[in-house]
Amino acid sequence: MMAPDPATANIAKLTALNVELAQVEDEIERLLNALTGANAVLLSYANGKIEELDADQQRFIKEIAAMNAGTISPQKIEFLSAHLDNWENIDFDDRRQVTDIILSQIQATSDRVSFEWKI
């Protein structure tokens, strides 16, 4: 019997972490939406729960970033370094390539912009 492929196991772990992160972010959003017209007791409970969820969110983000950092090839790191050092002078296509490497998602609303980092 063959041993499981480490890359496949890494992808599965990353997928699981991203799902957990999305669930935490959804729960935070639901709590924030429920606070309209809330009384002091509910606000106190919600603040505590949001702090707990925020800590979980930060942990997932760090784990995902650490796992993704280990998957970037030395060539990509060199490419990123050269382009980030010269960001003001590179063309749009090179900027797009850099963002494709380091970002998996950008979400924008009228209130905020959030980035999901690959690294």
Say if residue 56's pLDDT is above 60: yes
Confidence of residue 55 (pLDDT cuts 50, 70, 90): very high
Say if residue 65's pLDDT is above 80: no
Q: Which of 89, 15, 79, 23 is nearest to 56 (CA)?
A: 23
**What is the mean pLDDT of the segment spanning 76-83?**
84
Say if residue 5's pLDDT is above 70: no
Say if residue 115's pLDDT is above 90: no
For the chain, the average pLDDT equals 82
Confidence of residue 111 (pLDDT cuts 50, 70, 90): confident
* φ, ψ dihedrals at 67, nearest 5°: -70, -40
Confidence of residue 23 (pLDDT cuts 50, 70, 90): very high
Strands 113-117 and 103-108: antiparallel
3-state SS assignment for residue 104 = strand
